[in-house]
Structures are given as C-alpha cells and as structure tokens.
C-alpha cells in the first residue's frame, strides 16, 4: 500500500517538473540565448557545450538504466524483519573498476579535445583579417565604447561591421564587470588592473537573432542585446547595452554620424531644454559635442543620444515618454546610479517639471 502511494508521488513530481519546463516557455531562440549562436565564436562555444552535454546525457542514461535495473532485479522481495540478514557483502570486481576508470578517462578526453581547441580559437585573434579595435570601459552602471582608430566615443551602444573580427579591449573604471553578447559569444570579465580582451564577429549568414533597427534611424541594419554578466552592485541587472551589426556602408555612415557635432535646437522647447540642461549642471558630467560648456566626461556622451535604440544602458526603449521618466526619477529605474547620487542628490538639484520635459525634448532631438 505504502509502495504504491510512493510511486504515485514520484510520478506526480515528475509531471510537475515537466509542466514547469514547458510552461515557463523554455525557448531556445530568445534575444539573449546562447543556444542560438549568431557568430563564429558563439558557434564554437556552442559546439563545446553540445559535446559536453551529449557525453553527460550518455553517462546519465547508461548509469541510470543500470541503477534502475539493479534496484528492480536484486531487491529483497520478502517481508523485512529484525531477523532478516544483510545481503552478501563483496568488494566488487577489480576488472570492472579498471574498465570504469579507463572509460571515464576516455570520456574526459572526448570533452577535453574540443574544449582545448575552443580555448585556442577564442584566444587567438584571426590574423589575416584586420580586426577593428573597440575599447570597452565598464562603469557602475553603464558602458563606454571607444574606437581609437576612428576617433569615436559612445555610450551603451556600439556598432560592429558585419564579417569583420572585432577585438574588444576590456577595462573597468571601478569594480569587476563582465562583457557579454550572448548571441555572439563571450563572456569575459573587466578586471581592475588587468588588460583582458576578447574577439567577436557577426557573420551575415548567421544573423537569426538580430532585431531590425527602427526605420527612422540614420543608418540601417540590425542589433543585438548585451548584458553585464558579473554582479557589480545594486543595479547590476540594469547594466545592459546594444550591439549594432551593420554592413560596411552603414558602418561608415555610423562612424561619420558619431563624429558629427550635435544638432542645433530647432524648436522653442528644444532651445529651452538646452538652457535647462546647462542650468541644472547636466553638462558637468555629459558631453554634447558642439555645445559650448557641455564637455563632461563622467557620464555617457549624449551628442547623438536621440538616435540610440535604448536609454539608460539598455533598460528602456528610447522614446520621449521614457526619456522624461528617466530624467525625472533616475533612482527609481536604476537604484544607486551616479547621476542621481552624485548629481541630483549631492548637488541638491531640483528640476521643475517644465525643465524635465524640455531637457527630454532637446535630448530626444539629438538624433
Ligand atoms: Cu556591471 Cu554587473
């Protein structure tokens, strides 16, 4: 009687586990899925993962089946009392043990071979292509991207030319962060006092997980999601970024666009917004190229902030309403952020609602 309810219980638990897996929508092709690689580095990493997975599944099935067979076949079937003797105790078979050791070593070899090849592949920049260099700096909680050869500096959104390897040089301004573009590969830590790097590439034929840029964007192409993958403080989960994947023509457009000066205000609200931006000390930390006095280097460069896909390091879509909400209450969206703590709070900045809306309209116009 007891036996039967136990089996029933186990069956129910199994069903619940299966349902949980299915109902959580365990999709394999999300925007941040590592199981759907969109570049050669991610593809190699996926291959290593699959070899390890299938070897493990094989071991699980063989060992599990053997265990279930033994439990079913060699079970003591009578009634257990105090007088029931222990079964015969043995010390196993030397031959079996040696065989199992050899099989285990062989399986480790099967996993180790592609892993070691993968380590060299990921750790070696393709030599015959001239790689683009992007310097990445992690800050609590946003990303600074610099293109030393192109003279471009931008925040929270970088662009990669399709089909060309990109070398990311990773640095941090404060604590340890981790640079991760799940669809393209990674991840690697940004460590204080250590020069880390990794390379990634987007291949034209593999871009299944890329989202299309908005139609009114100054350049056309697709973009990926990136994410900080190392706990770095209270807003770690809100430290995201976007990676544009552009063909050569659009990449050049992007570079030229980033290097151009900011648009002049063209409406009354934008004009007032620019004045409010200066009056409320925003320019102390933020750069707007071409605007006198707005040369701050502490926060993200805002010269073309209106043309970016996202706001506040990837946590919200870039539109006027979100921009107003973000400027109004940054600490609500990104607890502990420097703009709020060292700016609004420490400098006791009290912005009127009109100022907030006008600043948002001005920044939104900076396409
Ligand atoms: Cu930066 Cu987590």
Q: Residue range 190-194: average pLDDT? A: 94
User: Does 2 score more than 60 pLDDT?
Assistant: no
Cα→Cα distances 116→68, 121, 122, 215, Å: 35, 9, 10, 43
Q: What is the 15 CA–ligand 1 centroid distance (Å)?
A: 37
- How many of the other CB atoms lie within 10 Å of CB of 173? 13
Q: What is the 304 CA–ligand 1 centroid distance (Å)?
A: 24
**pLDDT value of position 3:** 61
Q: What is the 49 CA–ligand 1 centroid distance (Å)?
A: 24
* DSSP at 190: E
176 CA: nearest ligand 1 atom:
1
175 CA: nearest ligand 1 atom:
1
177 CA: nearest ligand 1 atom:
1
**pLDDT value of position 67:** 95
Q: What is the 227 CA–ligand 1 centroid distance (Å)?
A: 8
Q: Residue range 85-97: average pLDDT? A: 85
Q: What is the 176 CA–ligand 1 centroid distance (Å)?
A: 7
Cβ–ligand 1 distance for 291 under 6 Å, the answer no
Confidence band of 26 (pLDDT split at 50, 70, 90): low
236 CA: nearest ligand 1 atom:
2
Q: What is the 183 CA–ligand 1 centroid distance (Å)?
A: 18
Cα→Cα distances 53→50, 56, 224, 364, Å: 5, 5, 26, 47
Cβ–ligand 1 distance for 239 under 6 Å, the answer yes
**pLDDT value of position 254:** 94
239 CA: nearest ligand 1 atom:
1
Cβ–ligand 1 distance for 232 under 6 Å, the answer yes
Q: Residue range 238-250: average pLDDT? A: 94
Cis peptide before 187 (omega within 30 of 0): yes
190 CA: nearest ligand 1 atom:
1
Question: How far is the C-alpha of 77 from the C-alpha of 69, rounded, in Å?
Answer: 15
Question: Mean of the per-residue pLDDT values for the chain?
Answer: 89
User: Does 339 score more than 80 pLDDT?
Assistant: yes
User: Does 20 score more than 80 pLDDT?
Assistant: no
Q: For ligand 1, atom 1, which residue shows the shortest CA distance?
A: 177
User: Does 232 score more than 60 pLDDT?
Assistant: yes
Q: What is the 335 CA–ligand 1 centroid distance (Å)?
A: 13
Q: Residue range 207-235: average pLDDT? A: 90
């Amino acid at each position: 009687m007891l036996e039967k309810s136990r089996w029933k219980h186990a069956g129910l638990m199994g069903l619940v586990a299966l349902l949980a897996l299915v109902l959580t929508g365990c999709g394999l092709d999300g925007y941040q899925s590592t199981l759907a690689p969109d570049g050669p580095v991610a593809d190699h990493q996926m291959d290593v993962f699959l070899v390890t997975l299938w070897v493990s599944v094989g071991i699980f099935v063989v060992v599990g089946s053997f265990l279930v067979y033994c439990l079913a076949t060699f079970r003591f079937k009578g009634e257990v009392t105090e007088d029931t003797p222990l079964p015969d105790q043995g010390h196993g078979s030397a031959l079996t043990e040696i065989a199992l050791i050899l099989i285990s070593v062989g399986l480790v070899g099967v996993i180790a071979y592609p892993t070691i090849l993968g380590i060299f592949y990921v750790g070696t920049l393709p030599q015959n292509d001239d790689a683009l260099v992007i310097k990445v700096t992690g800050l609590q909680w946003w990303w600074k991207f610099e293109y030393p050869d192109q003279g471009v500096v931008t925040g929270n959104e970088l662009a990669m030319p399709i089909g060309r390897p990109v070398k990311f040089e990773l640095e941090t301004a404060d604590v340890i962060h981790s640079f991760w573009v799940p669809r393209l590969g990674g991840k690697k830590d940004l460590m204080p006092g250590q020069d880390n790097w990794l390379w990634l590439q987007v291949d034209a034929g593999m871009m299944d997980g890329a989202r299309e840029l908005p139609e009114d964007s100054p350049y056309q192409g697709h973009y990926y999601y990136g994410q900080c993958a190392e706990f770095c403080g209270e807003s770690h989960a809100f430290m995201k970024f976007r990676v544009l994947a552009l063909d050569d023509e659009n990449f050049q457009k992007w570079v030229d666009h980033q290097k151009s000066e900011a648009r002049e205000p063209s409406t009354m609200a934008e004009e007032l917004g620019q004045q409010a931006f200066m009056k409320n000390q925003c320019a102390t930390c933020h750069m707007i190229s071409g605007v006198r006095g707005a040369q701050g280097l502490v926060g993200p460069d805002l010269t073309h902030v209106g043309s970016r896909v996202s706001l506040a390091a990837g946590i919200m879509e870039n539109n006027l309403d979100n921009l107003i909400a973000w400027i109004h209450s940054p600490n609500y969206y990104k607890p502990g952020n420097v703009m709020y703590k060292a700016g609004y709070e420490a400098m006791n900045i009290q912005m009127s609602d009109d100022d907030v809306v006008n600043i948002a309209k001005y920044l939104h116009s900076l396409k």
